[in-house]
Structures are given as structure tokens and as C-alpha cells.
């Protein structure tokens, strides 16, 4: 009897333990799913963490993510030329998109606040009108409440009837939406932006903010529809076609993305801003010939700019044409001698092809321009190590630790020093 009870108890304990494990796994998966969704949001659309500074009201990131490190060295913190190239491309494309935006009522990332200033001026004018209506009459008595209501209604009617009143109202709604975003009130922000577009269907800022919000919330179909509405209601604007192409790439509809990209290019009329945008999109579409043609056309249109040469050099490096890549990086260095990315690009190619002395010289030139960049010192140390100059590698790794013992590069340097010392000890040196 007691043996049977013991067996039953043991079985129950096992079952309860298994149930607890299953429940824990389920909770963990839910947490991971929530964290994954939250990670898609920009910082200002998340609940603020203690370590995060508050974003400016109404601030949303542009299409190109910003980095705290300088754009022309960002990728090398991870030790990859590919990450370096992506950082530069994001900067160039982001700059190009910004140049195409209408600055008449603020931009998606809040750099221009013209709409807010105009709205403030309108409010001041309204106050002046109302102030006159609410002033004392000739006898010194305050106006009646009925007169005040009538005057306010007349003032509101005058504002509605004023030329451009719809545009002013829409701009104010956009500013209100920015405030709602800053308060994490996304439903209100979406309603205000939608109302702004109903008031003024040509308000580009409302389209930009609404589509960005929909993207951050994972509402892909709504985002696509917003870009389509923007293109239809502002037929002379090329930017919505590019933004729609980008969204279509993310959704996997590459044929439709290609059509929108062609529309964007035909409407851009050879604008310099369109070249890096189109080249980057061709790269996403897996069309290297079109990407190369676009970059070369950009160089013909603006031969003295280092940017198209930089992107073409990265293109050649990515596709294994190291000779042409070296030539383009050298052109970048000649056009803009202070461009660190030109030297690091050359160094990377020289190291890949076993030309370690040349690679070391390029990294040293980059470090002279940016002596505090530990990522560059780390790459120089790796190059010394690859070339067999272990003593130079040791001293360079140690300089990283001396500069900032708490930096991630310092931790990697300490581990590298241990490996080299073990290697030297094994060799009896």
C-alpha cells in the first residue's frame, strides 16, 4: 500500500515538474517574441530604459540607421570590410534621401521644424485676434460670453477660409502627432497623421511619418498602401516610389520593387541624389551589372566627388575585382586625403592579397588621422600578426590596452597577447 502511494507521489512530482518546465519554456518564448518585436522599434518608440537618453519629441530615425562611431570607420569595429561598406552606403543613401525630402514642414527625423514655427506664428496671430475680441468695450466693461463665442467662431472661420489654411492645419496635426509619438501614444499619432492627410493629401511629412510608424509596428500592408497613396496624391514626387521599392524588397516582391525603382529613376531626371539610392537598391535586388552601371554613371555626372568612387571601390572589392578596387580607393585618397575609409579599404585589400607591408602602411596612415580609434589599431595588430611580425603585434595590442583597458578591443587584445605568448613559448622564443 505504502509502496503504491510512494510510486503515485513520485509520478505526480515528475508530472508537476514537467508541467513547470513546459510553462517556463512557453513564458520564455513569449518573452523572446515580445523582445524581438520591441527591437524592431526605434528607441523613441520603446519604453525608455534607464541607460537610454530620451529622444527629442517627435523624432523618428531616417531610412539609414545612424551610428555613434564615424561613418567611415564604423564597420571596422567588428573587423569586417563588409560592415564598413554597409555603414558608408547607409550614410550616402541617407544623405541622398534627406536631400530629396521637402523641408517645408519638418522632416521624418525632425531636423527641420519649419512647420512648428509656422504653427506657433499662427497661434500668435489667433491670440491677437481673440485678444481684440475679448478686450473691454468703450465703457470699460468686459465683453459678454456670447460675444466672445461669436468672435472665436468668426476667427476660426477666417482661418479656415484663408488660402493655405488646410496645409497649415495639416502641419499642426503633424506636429501634434510628433508629440504623441514622443509620449508613446502610437494610436493617437496614427489618427492625427491620417487626419492630416485627409485635410491635406499632399502633405509629404505626414506620409513619411505614418509609413515609418507603420513599418516600425510591423504593419507592412498599411505601409505599402501609404507609399502608394503618397505617390498617387503627389504625382511629381519621386521619393515615394523609392520608399515603396524599399518596402517591397523587404516584403519579398522583387519584381514590383524593380518597377518602382525604374519609376523613381525616370522621375529623378539624373539628380545626383538618385545615384547612390538606385545603386543601393540594385544591390538589394541582386543586380550587380545595374549597380555597376549606376555607380559609373554617377562618376561621369560628378567625377570630382569621392563618394561615387568610394561606392564603386566597395563594389569591386565585394565582387572580387581587387585591382579595380585598389585603383578606386587610391582615387578617393587623392580626391579627399583625409578620408580614413580610403586607407582602410586599401589596407584590407593589401592584407587579403598578402601584401602585409603595404597594408600596415595604410593602417598607419589611417591611425595618424584618427589616433584614438582603437578599432584601427586592432586591425593593424591583426595585420602584423598575419604577416609574422609578432613583436609589433604584441606592442600594438598592448597600446590598445593602455589606451582604454575597459574597451572591447582591449579585452580582445589581451586574449590575442596570450595566444601570441603561448605561440612564442612553444617555439622556444
**pLDDT range class, residue 141, cuts 50, 70, 90:** very low
**pLDDT range class, residue 270, cuts 50, 70, 90:** confident
For 340-359, what is the mean pLDDT? 96
- Quick one: pLDDT at residue 269? 86
Task: Look at residue 106 and give its three-state secondary structure.
Answer: strand
Question: Of 156 and 406, which is predicted with more confidence?
Answer: 406
Element (H, E) at 280: helix 274-285
Residue 417 lies in a domain: yes
Residue 409 lies in a domain: yes
**pLDDT range class, residue 88, cuts 50, 70, 90:** low
- Quick one: pLDDT at residue 80? 52
Largest CA distance in the chain: 108
Q: What is the mean pLDDT of the chain?
A: 76
Residue partners of 330: CB distance under 8 A and separation at least 6? 342, 346
Residue 177 lies in a domain: no
Q: Is the pLDDT of residue 74 over 80?
A: no
Residue 414 lies in a domain: yes
Element (H, E) at 321: none
- Quick one: pLDDT at residue 130? 38
**pLDDT range class, residue 66, cuts 50, 70, 90:** very low
User: Please, what sign has the CA dihedral across residues 171, 200, 213, 285?
Assistant: negative
- Quick one: pLDDT at residue 101? 64
- Quick one: pLDDT at residue 158? 52
Residue 317 lies in a domain: no
Question: Of 162 and 342, which is predicted with more confidence?
Answer: 342
Instruction: Convert the pLDDT of each residue in 299-332 to its tens digit.
Output: 999 999 999 999 999 999 999 999 999 999 999 9
Question: Of 136 and 265, which is predicted with more confidence?
Answer: 265
Residue 139 lies in a domain: no
Separation of alpha carbons 139 and 261, rounded Å? 70
- Quick one: pLDDT at residue 96? 67
Angle at 312 between CA 309 and CA 315, to 5 degrees: 155
Phi, psi of 106 (to 5 degrees): 90, 160
171 is written with which cell numbers? Answer: 502641419
142 is written with which cell numbers? Answer: 468686459
Instruction: Convert the pLDDT of each residue in 2-59 to its tens digit.
Output: 455 555 554 444 455 454 444 443 444 444 444 443 343 343 333 333 333 333 333 3
pTM, two decimal places: 0.64
- Are 363 and 399 spatial neighbours (Cβ–Cβ below 8 Å)? no
Per-residue DSSP letter, 80: -
Helices (H) and strands (E) in the chain, counts: 19, 0
- Quick one: pLDDT at residue 82? 58
Task: Look at residue 341 and give its three-state secondary structure.
Answer: helix
- Quick one: pLDDT at residue 166? 85
Task: Look at residue 274 and give its three-state secondary structure.
Answer: helix
Number of domains in the chain: 1
Scanning the structure block, which residue is given the C-alpha cell 590598445?
A: 400
Percent of the chain exceeding pLDDT 90 equals: 59
**pLDDT range class, residue 288, cuts 50, 70, 90:** very high
- Quick one: pLDDT at residue 107? 34
For 103-129, what is the mean pLDDT? 34
Q: Is the pLDDT of residue 368 over 80?
A: yes
Tell me how crowded residue 63 is: count the other CB atoms within 10 A of its CB: 20
Residue partners of 319: CB distance under 8 A and separation at least 6? 288
Residue 318 lies in a domain: no
| Domain span at 407 | 371-429
Residue partners of 71: CB distance under 8 A and separation at least 6? 87, 88, 90, 91
Instruction: Convert the pLDDT of each residue in 159-195 to its tens digit.
Output: 444 445 688 999 999 999 999 999 999 999 999 999 9
Residue 313 lies in a domain: no
Amino acid at each position: 500500500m505504502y509502496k503504491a502511494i510512494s510510486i503515485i507521489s513520485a509520478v505526480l512530482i515528475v508530472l508537476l515538474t514537467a508541467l513547470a518546465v513546459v510553462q517556463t519554456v512557453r513564458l520564455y518564448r513569449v518573452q523572446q517574441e515580445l523582445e524581438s518585436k520591441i527591437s524592431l522599434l526605434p528607441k523613441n518608440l520603446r519604453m525608455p530604459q534607464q541607460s537610454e537618453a530620451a529622444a527629442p519629441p517627435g523624432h523618428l530615425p531616417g531610412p539609414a540607421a545612424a551610428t555613434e562611431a564615424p561613418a567611415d570607420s564604423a564597420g571596422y569595429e567588428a573587423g569586417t570590410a563588409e560592415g564598413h561598406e554597409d555603414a558608408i552606403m547607409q550614410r550616402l543613401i541617407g544623405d541622398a534621401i534627406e536631400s530629396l525630402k521637402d523641408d517645408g514642414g519638418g522632416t521624418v527625423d525632425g531636423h527641420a521644424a519649419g512647420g512648428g514655427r509656422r504653427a506657433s506664428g499662427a497661434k500668435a496671430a489667433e491670440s491677437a485676434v481673440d485678444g481684440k475680441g475679448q478686450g473691454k468695450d468703450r465703457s470699460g466693461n468686459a465683453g459678454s460670453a456670447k460675444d466672445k463665442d461669436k468672435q472665436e467662431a468668426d476667427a476660426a472661420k477666417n482661418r479656415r477660409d484663408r488660402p493655405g489654411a488646410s496645409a497649415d492645419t495639416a502641419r499642426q496635426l503633424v506636429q501634434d502627432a510628433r508629440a504623441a509619438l514622443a509620449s508613446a501614444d502610437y494610436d493617437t499619432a496614427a489618427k492625427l497623421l491620417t487626419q492630416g492627410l485627409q485635410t491635406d493629401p499632399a502633405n509629404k511629412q505626414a506620409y513619411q511619418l505614418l509609413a515609418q510608424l507603420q513599418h516600425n509596428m510591423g504593419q507592412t500592408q498599411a505601409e505599402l498602401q501609404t507609399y502608394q497613396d503618397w505617390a498617387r496624391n503627389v504625382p511629381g514626387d519621386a521619393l515615394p516610389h523609392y520608399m515603396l521599392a524599399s518596402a517591397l524588397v523587404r516584403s519579398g516582391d522583387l519584381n514590383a520593387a524593380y518597377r518602382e525603382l525604374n519609376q523613381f529613376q525616370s522621375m529623378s531626371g539624373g539628380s545626383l541624389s538618385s545615384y547612390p539610392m538606385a545603386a543601393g537598391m540594385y544591390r538589394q535586388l541582386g543586380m550587380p551589372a545595374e549597380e555597376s552601371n549606376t555607380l559609373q554613371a554617377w562618376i561621369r555626372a560628378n567625377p570630382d566627388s569621392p563618394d561615387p568612387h568610394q561606392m564603386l571601390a566597395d563594389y569591386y572589392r565585394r565582387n572580387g575585382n581587387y585591382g579595380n578596387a585598389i585603383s578606386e580607393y587610391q582615387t578617393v585618397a587623392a580626391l579627399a586625403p583625409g578620408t580614413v575609409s580610403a586607407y582602410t579599404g586599401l589596407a584590407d585589400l593589401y592584407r587579403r592579397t598578402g601584401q602585409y607591408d603595404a597594408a600596415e602602411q595604410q593602417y598607419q596612415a589611417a591611425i595618424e588621422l584618427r589616433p584614438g580609434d582603437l578599432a584601427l589599431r586592432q586591425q593593424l595588430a591583426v595585420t602584423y600578426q598575419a604577416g609574422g611580425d609578432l613583436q609589433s603585434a604584441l606592442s600594438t595590442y598592448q597600446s590598445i590596452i593602455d589606451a582604454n583597458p575597459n574597451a572591447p578591443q582591449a579585452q580582445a587584445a589581451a586574449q590575442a597577447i596570450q595566444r601570441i605568448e603561448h605561440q612564442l613559448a612553444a617555439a622556444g622564443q
